[in-house]
Structure 1
Amino acid sequence: MVSLLRLPFSSGRRFQMSLFRFTALTSVCLMASPARAALSGETHARKGAHHGTAQRGTVHHTAALPAAQAAAPARKPVSHGNIRASGDETVAVSGHRAVSRGPDNVIGQAVFRQFTPGVSAYKALDRLPGVSFSSTDALGIDTWGSSIYVRGFFMDQLGITLDGIPLNDQTYETQNGVNLIQAVISDDIEHATLSTGPGGVSVPSTSTLGGTIQFETSDPKDRAGGKVSQGFGSYASYRTYLRGDTGKLNATGTKAMVSYSRSDEKKWMGRGHQFQQQVDSKLVQPIGNDSMMKAFFNWSQLQEWGYQDTSLSMIRTMGWRVPHLYPDYAKAYNYAASLQDGGTPTLPVPDEVSSNSQQPYLYDAGQNEIDYTGGLRFDLALTDHLRWKSMLYGQSMTGYYSYSDYDYASPDTGAPFSEAVWQVRQERVGGSTGLEYKIARHTIDAGVWYENNNQAADVYWYNEPALGQGAPLKTVGPYTTYGPAFQRGYGMAWRTNNFTWHLEDTWRPLKNLRVTAGFKSMVTGTAGGGYYNNPDYTGADKLPVGTMTASAAFLPHVGASWFFLPHHELYFDLAENMRTYQVLPNGGGNSLWAVQDQATFRDLQNSVKPEKDWVYAVGYRYSDKLIQASIDGYHADARHRLMAATLGTITAPVSSVIQSRVSIYGVDASTTLTPVKGLAIYNSVSYNHGTYGNNLDASDGFYHMKGRKLVNYPQFMYKANLSYTWHGVEAHFDVHYYSKRYFSFTNDTSVPGYWLASTGARWNLGKIGFARNMFLDFNVYNLFNSKYVSMMGQNGNPISGDYQSLERGAVRQYFGTVSAEF
């Protein structure tokens, strides 16, 4: 009996141990360092954002975001020209970073606290206009069933970083990054900054076509202490979070923290668990009077039993809950046996489902993934006007993703089905360095970023046990393997090198006017492809192998912000962006290496160009004590958009890569009213008109796509939040509406719109015994128990018609948490 956790990947383990030893050695050495320092410029910047201090020419002001502005005692606002900056550190704010492209939306602790501890941080971003987050589970941690869009751009088209580390592609089984929930414990996120415009030239990313999302973890506290949190919820869910802070260890200000989380929840449909445990650690070492070193490290283990993929026809004919058959192995065994040689299924399959060769009764599916992520950052003041910022980072991922496969019997045991397992490996190392120089009314920022990524993907089949001769293993999640793999489908490997260089100038000709202009240069080269091929599985004589290079010498970026009257701001932003070629295995998605064979790859190699777009945004914002309001108009003209389209059936799919032109026009508007102390009323509306620019002439016919709407993203969204704080008790209510979403590229199938509401409360009990602060949290997800489709297109979107590539959203669930700080 062989567990997948013991499958060999020696190079990954060597990298993981090296990264661990490097981080540990660095931490020990720097904790013993005699360096002399106070707070760094970076720490001052954070305090400036919280307390109204000007952050090297940065102005912050309250935003139209769903936060209780009067949640904490108000501090005296700080004036900066004609602008007033809020000093309330509990408020989610929107403002300008030193090299801002227009107002950034900053989600802080006031908003994060309104969600169940352990929830994906992307759910907090979903409150913002233009953002659409969906998930199969209530906490949003199922990477197969969750997605995030920003103004029509998918999560593999956004620039996403954590403490400056590029996370890149956030999709399931990614080979170009790491998902946020596997890179950090959500409790340790201090704030998130979302730029819904074109993104910034200094953000290290090769996937930025739309906006950027930058997450920052909280620093260790100055005072020694800790936190304990225990949560419980529906479907036997529980979550434990522990954190310890050293406080300042010496006169130089050295401080560190370490935290651990462990969560487990049963699926709301069918059987199986979704389990995750993580460790975070962070070290902060001041250097001199205005410099800082920070080291961050995360280890994550994720074991999740997935939910059953469904289709519109399955939902219509079979009802809302059609789960996997696990743990009824006998039922799955007999069902698989009845399918052999065209037999009559032992379980009912409606004709509408059967005619599309869909599989509504899989035994199981899921994933097991281990990730290591670490980084070392320096922010050094060389002179009063010159700063040097550098970062080194590494990331390792080993993942196993599986489902029961009725197409292949187990030859060694005689079982009528087997377990197909995708084995994915990734090792990234990289670094960036840059200088920021202030002269007169200019702030000049220049820097470079380099990353090397080794990627590999394989697929194997393992034996299932004969009926009555053994039981599936339960210690490793959904994997039910007996003996070594009896079949291999393919083996693919790549090596990718990314390099960018940027230059940007922020000019303040007037106190109330800021103009930003800059550009970046990019070049990415990827070499590799299939090194092992099983023609019986792939249907190809040779898998795609070759080199693709994406380069752009000049990608410009211009923006301006003008406070023309007190409380009134106008801004605009425009940029050209490029997304480099992605790597995915045979049949995997929108990658050139995912096509059927070498001949198709060669054709695309000579004709396909890297994705580029121009993004324009213009907006107005008003902010004062009683009302904060904003309205933004935007347009994106995307060229050479690569999309994964699927022909055929779920059991015999034919993956195709479509290249199309996409045009997007949209408007976002939001208001926050704070009429009385403690009360905040937030409303936002979003409209997005995105269409494809050309038709598709495919091997099986001609498809009219020109003028059709974007798939998977709602044209209209409405969001509201009501929050009230009184004497340490905070209550909130959220309601979102998402309009109809198109499922096929020709728009002949769609899923209906839906309302989704949640509510919760938080009570600060104050000091009790050893605890300085004790909190009680209670949250209800999907308050009115709406039935809705969440994730769409996880198996690819159909060009036309229906397909088994939808996930259902979680039903109503309750969560409670008790936490104490000491």
Structure 2
Amino acid sequence: MRARNSLSGVIVASRQRNARCTRLVFINTPRSVLLTSTLMIGALPAHAAPIGSGPSGAGGPASSVTHPVRKPVVSAKPVSSKSGSSGARARAVAVPAAAKEEISIFGHGSTRQMTSVTSTMMRQSVPGTSPMKVLSQLPGVLYQSADPFGAYEYSSTLFMRGFSQAQLGFTLDGIPLGDQQFNNYNGLSITRALSTDNVAGVDVSQGAGAIDVASSSNLGGAIQFRSIDPSHERGGTVEQTFGSNATFRTFIRLNSGDLNRTGSRFYVSYARTDMDLWKGHGYDYSDQVNAKFVQPLAHESSLKMFFDWSSTQQFDYQDMTMDNLHVFGPNLANYYPNYTAAYHAAQGIYPAGYEKAADPLDASYYAGTANRVDYLGGITLNENLTSALNWATTVYGHGDSGYSTWTTPYMPSPNGAPLSQRIQNPGIERGGFTTALTYKIARHTINAGVWYEYGQFTEGRYFSEVPLSGEGTPGNPTDGFPGNVFANPWQEVFHTNTFTFHLQDTFRITRNLTVNAGFKSMVVSAGNHVPTQDAALNGGNQVAQGHLTASDAFLPQVSANWRFLPHHEAFFDVSHNMRAYPQDGYNTNVSATPWTSSQTAFQSTKGSLKPETDWVYELGYRYVTPKLSALVSLYRVNFSNRLQLISSGSGINPITAVQNVGGVTTNGAEVSMTAHPVQGLTLYNSFSYAHSTYDQNVVTSSGPEPTRGKLVPNYPTMMYKGSIAYDWRHLNVHLDGNYLSSRELTYTNDLHVPGYFQANFGGRYNFGSYSFMKNFTVSFNIYNLFNKTYVATTSELGNNFTNTGYNYFLMGAPRQFFGTVSADF
């Protein structure tokens, strides 16, 4: 989406990039270990992978009593739960004898569809691969990225049952991570919060997140990441990865082992990733440190402390249009480090063949970069006050700083150079706590808790002068904040107070019937002030500033699980959810934030705006035996008060405002089946269907846009996912395949990107122990096995109503090879 602003008679097309800011091991379940029969994807034969049995009845680990991990009991008979918990009531189910951990497509006994991804599954991907990319094998989940690792944040997008990641909830060990958007105002991406090697598992609720999840954005489901605990044994892990694009990644983790009789222990890890872009020039570089300390306490309680530091520098891939793809092919890239070519292009002097493009200047950028430094820390006290009462509290803090650059040919420098560097420097300072009590009495598990967070989000836009031709180059944009700043269109400071309260009861009515019911109250009060702005640089407009509150005292949720026959169970879930108003700077034109508009537009809509809400309905059936597991899930979403960017006025100085434009109705179904025909062999197939359409037309100053009945952009109607995995002694091999149907690029569905099928291959061999080394392992992965050319990320610059020619997307990486050597000591 593009906006054109007048500046001293020069037309400045500001290519809006969401402000282009800087860019198992058995699971320890909160009150019990739920041994689940599992549907398996990929990798290893299936052992019962425990899923958290939080009081929500959905496996949520947030506010639960912690007990030691029990050894699995392989039995066809239910095993009593010490916690007496919820819809994820603990029971053991017969499983294949050769089973190991993998992805559990559903939690046996859960009152809603739950998925648990273990660290074993994470290790089947190349080290450093984003955990969210691993989740793309789950039914209803779509993850896209322009790079093979999913580490390039600007291109990282996740959709789940039609909801974008900005409408989902994300936490790490109960600490809120915000909405995972590239220009995040209240969190950070999981790849910057935790090294992938330290991920213990991921709990995913595809339909609706549990009401105790610390999120103000989850209209849809929730994704809860868990970090590993330090080992009881002294030692460590060393890992080295090599591969395509000069990839060189090193990881080392040191475990203290038990320091005393009480079991005090910690680990410290360091990861360095260095790889080139797969097309053009530039790199993706990061350093990351994680540390965790665990102190066991009396009565099976614990105190845990976590710390993360990360530093990331990334170069951008070229945003593509259909015209650019047809004229230049998928390998079109920015000019960096060829400053002369970019300089000439800004003067209208293009390389041969560029004249065939509809807008050759839009294919002629020098470079874009993102730079981020984050500090994240938290301390959690999980205290069993009595055998029936638990108190869990987490206190956390997060600081983020950085900047992004984009060398734009649409803004000249004062020295006469035909281009300049646009810079934005978002920053986050936030802190908060979650606290909850869980009380068990008779057949009830009652849970109540509070989440509070205060956050400050700052952002400014600047323009920096670049050298004249022959007098040098802009230098490496990742080396530091550029000098020679000559313009500062605006600076903004946001302050946000978030408060939620939840209360729920999980009632085990009979041995085979469990009901969970509760509600959440939420108040998010946010406002901004603008200490610096220059109307001449902002199309003559004053930047929007003001205050908005999103609140609802009663957001209910009811779910149930009924085990009506051996191996057969049904579940349903109904929930009402609200999303707080997102935040971003002026004229970013990607996020539907009320503050992106002018002061006039903000004031005209402020009184009528409502936060986005929805009702989510889910009905499912599970069948579980040692040889065959199956799941059928039907769902419906009624989404209301949708926020939409609406532009009116001339194309030179558009008036952009955010308005409520109606609703969306989604009907969907998911079918999954996993078979274990012989020992060591796992066959998995899943099919997802989602029909998500707009309920109304959208009226703009130029008339109605015919969006009623049109499909929501960016999410495919159909997805198929399959996997064949074989495990023999110390060898594991797997072949995974995903098919996506076409995705719409515009709201009126007059442009789409085609569907595609992609496959990945992986193999891993454990050579055992040699001398001081243990688990000496070599692994090999091929991403995009058949070298498919495909469109990966859509909507990184937002979606237009119609095919304007500037409908952007990013290409996916070609076939990639990676090898890893690792060992414990």
Structure 1 length-normalised TM: 0.89
Superposed, 1:245-284 pairs within 5 Å as 245-284=255-294
Report what 2:179 is aligned to: 169
Structure 1 window deviating more from structure 2 (277-286 vs 402-411): it is 402-411
**Deviation sequence 1:176-222 (CA, Å, 0-9, x none):** 21111111101100000000121111001100100000000000000
SS in 2 for 1:768: coil
**Deviation sequence 1:42-80 (CA, Å, 0-9, x none):** xxxx98757xxx974664312223045536799751455
2:698 alignment partner AA: L
Report what 2:74 is aligned to: 77
Report what 2:710 is aligned to: 708
Report what 2:582 is aligned to: 582
- CA distance in 2 between partners of 1:555 and 1:95 (Å): 25
Contact (CA 8 Å) 2:40, 2:46: kept in 1 or not?
A: no
SS in 2 for 1:61: coil
Report what 2:689 is aligned to: 687
Please state if 1:621 is matched with 2:626: no
Contact (CA 8 Å) 2:598, 2:657: kept in 1 or not?
A: no
SS in 1 for 2:325: helix
Report what 1:676 is aligned to: 678
Deviation at 1:484, TM superposition (A): 3.0
Report what 1:384 is aligned to: 387
- CA distance in 2 between partners of 1:649 and 1:346 (Å): 32
Report what 1:548 is aligned to: 548
SS in 2 for 1:353: coil
SS in 2 for 1:65: coil
Please state if 1:564 is matched with 2:564: yes
Deviation at 1:697, TM superposition (A): 1.4
Kindly tell me: are residues 80 and 208 of structure 1, through their superposed partners in 2, closer, same or farther at Cα, counting changes over 3 Å? farther
- CA distance in 2 between partners of 1:122 and 1:171 (Å): 13
Contact (CA 8 Å) 2:601, 2:656: kept in 1 or not?
A: no
Kindly tell me: are residues 598 and 653 of structure 1, through their superposed partners in 2, closer, same or farther at Cα, counting changes over 3 Å? closer
- CA distance in 1 between partners of 2:479 and 2:637 (Å): 42
2:523 alignment partner AA: V
- CA distance in 2 between partners of 1:638 and 1:350 (Å): 45
- CA distance in 2 between partners of 1:479 and 1:652 (Å): 33
**Deviation sequence 1:456-487 (CA, Å, 0-9, x none):** 1101111212223224433x538793x33111
Kindly tell me: are residues 264 and 629 of structure 1, through their superposed partners in 2, closer, same or farther at Cα, counting changes over 3 Å? same
Superposed, 1:166-565 pairs within 5 Å as 166-336=176-346, 338-339=347-348, 345=350, 348-350=353-355, 353-354=358-359, 359-412=362-415, 414-474=416-476, 477=478, 481=482, 483-565=483-565
Deviation at 1:334, TM superposition (A): 1.7
Kindly tell me: are residues 648 and 281 of structure 1, through their superposed partners in 2, closer, same or farther at Cα, counting changes over 3 Å? farther
Deviation at 1:248, TM superposition (A): 0.4
Kindly tell me: are residues 426 and 769 of structure 1, through their superposed partners in 2, closer, same or farther at Cα, counting changes over 3 Å? same
Contact (CA 8 Å) 1:129, 1:670: kept in 2 or not?
A: yes
1:91 to 99, 102, 110: 102
Kindly tell me: are residues 288 and 121 of structure 1, through their superposed partners in 2, closer, same or farther at Cα, counting changes over 3 Å? same
SS in 2 for 1:407: coil
- CA distance in 2 between partners of 1:304 and 1:595 (Å): 25
Kindly tell me: are residues 657 and 575 of structure 1, through their superposed partners in 2, closer, same or farther at Cα, counting changes over 3 Å? same
Structure 1 window deviating more from structure 2 (586-595 vs 374-383): it is 586-595
1:619 alignment partner AA: G
SS in 1 for 2:679: coil
Report what 1:777 is aligned to: 779
Give structure 2 stretches of 5+ with no counterpart: 1-23, 50-71, 80-90
Deviation at 1:760, TM superposition (A): 1.0
Report what 2:747 is aligned to: 745
Deviation at 1:360, TM superposition (A): 0.4
Kindly tell me: are residues 647 and 772 of structure 1, through their superposed partners in 2, closer, same or farther at Cα, counting changes over 3 Å? farther
2:345 alignment partner AA: Y
Please state if 1:601 is matched with 2:598: no
- CA distance in 2 between partners of 1:73 and 1:714 (Å): 32
Deviation at 1:85, TM superposition (A): 3.1
1:496 alignment partner AA: T
1:92 alignment partner AA: I
Superposed, 1:95-114 pairs within 5 Å as 96=107, 101-114=111-124
Deviation at 1:539, TM superposition (A): 1.3
Deviation at 1:620, TM superposition (A): 0.3
1:714 alignment partner AA: P
Please state if 1:60 is matched with 2:71: no
1:549 alignment partner AA: T
Deviation at 1:537, TM superposition (A): 2.5
Deviation at 1:242, TM superposition (A): 0.5
**Deviation sequence 1:387-421 (CA, Å, 0-9, x none):** 00000001111121111111222224x42211101
- CA distance in 2 between partners of 1:736 and 1:562 (Å): 32
Contact (CA 8 Å) 2:783, 2:816: kept in 1 or not?
A: yes
- CA distance in 2 between partners of 1:228 and 1:191 (Å): 20
**Deviation sequence 1:332-384 (CA, Å, 0-9, x none):** 11222x23xxxx64564446522xx8610100011001111111111101011
- CA distance in 2 between partners of 1:218 and 1:640 (Å): 40
Structure 1 window deviating more from structure 2 (562-571 vs 401-410): it is 401-410
- CA distance in 1 between partners of 2:573 and 2:536 (Å): 52
SS in 2 for 1:335: helix
Kindly tell me: are residues 525 and 818 of structure 1, through their superposed partners in 2, closer, same or farther at Cα, counting changes over 3 Å? same
Give structure 1 stretches of 5+ with no counterpart: 1-45
Contact (CA 8 Å) 2:46, 2:100: kept in 1 or not?
A: no
Report what 2:18 is aligned to: none
**Deviation sequence 1:306-332 (CA, Å, 0-9, x none):** 101111121122222110001111111
SS in 1 for 2:502: strand
- CA distance in 1 between partners of 2:779 and 2:746 (Å): 41
Kindly tell me: are residues 694 and 95 of structure 1, through their superposed partners in 2, closer, same or farther at Cα, counting changes over 3 Å? closer
Deviation at 1:169, TM superposition (A): 1.3
Contact (CA 8 Å) 1:146, 1:790: kept in 2 or not?
A: no
- CA distance in 1 between partners of 2:210 and 2:300 (Å): 25
Kindly tell me: are residues 69 and 627 of structure 1, through their superposed partners in 2, closer, same or farther at Cα, counting changes over 3 Å? farther
- CA distance in 1 between partners of 2:196 and 2:115 (Å): 18
Report what 2:9 is aligned to: none
**Deviation sequence 1:11-60 (CA, Å, 0-9, x none):** xxxxxxxxxxxxxxxxxxxxxxxxxxxxxxxxxxx98757xxx9746643
- CA distance in 2 between partners of 1:230 and 1:58 (Å): 34
**Deviation sequence 1:534-583 (CA, Å, 0-9, x none):** 22222143111111001101000000011111111100001000000111
Give the number of equivalent residue pairs. Answer: 763
Report what 1:632 is aligned to: 633
Deviation at 1:527, TM superposition (A): 1.4
- CA distance in 2 between partners of 1:49 and 1:577 (Å): 28
Contact (CA 8 Å) 1:81, 1:511: kept in 2 or not?
A: no
Contact (CA 8 Å) 2:268, 2:291: kept in 1 or not?
A: yes
Superposed, 1:138-153 pairs within 5 Å as 138-153=148-163
Contact (CA 8 Å) 1:760, 1:779: kept in 2 or not?
A: yes
SS in 1 for 2:518: strand
Contact (CA 8 Å) 1:279, 1:300: kept in 2 or not?
A: yes
Contact (CA 8 Å) 1:590, 1:642: kept in 2 or not?
A: no
Deviation at 1:511, TM superposition (A): 1.3
1:382 alignment partner AA: L
Contact (CA 8 Å) 1:586, 1:593: kept in 2 or not?
A: no
Report what 2:15 is aligned to: none
Deviation at 1:255, TM superposition (A): 0.5
2:608 alignment partner AA: S
- CA distance in 2 between partners of 1:793 and 1:140 (Å): 16
- CA distance in 1 between partners of 2:404 and 2:650 (Å): 20
- CA distance in 2 between partners of 1:733 and 1:246 (Å): 37
Report what 1:820 is aligned to: 823
SS in 2 for 1:607: coil
Q: CA RMSD in A?
A: 2.3
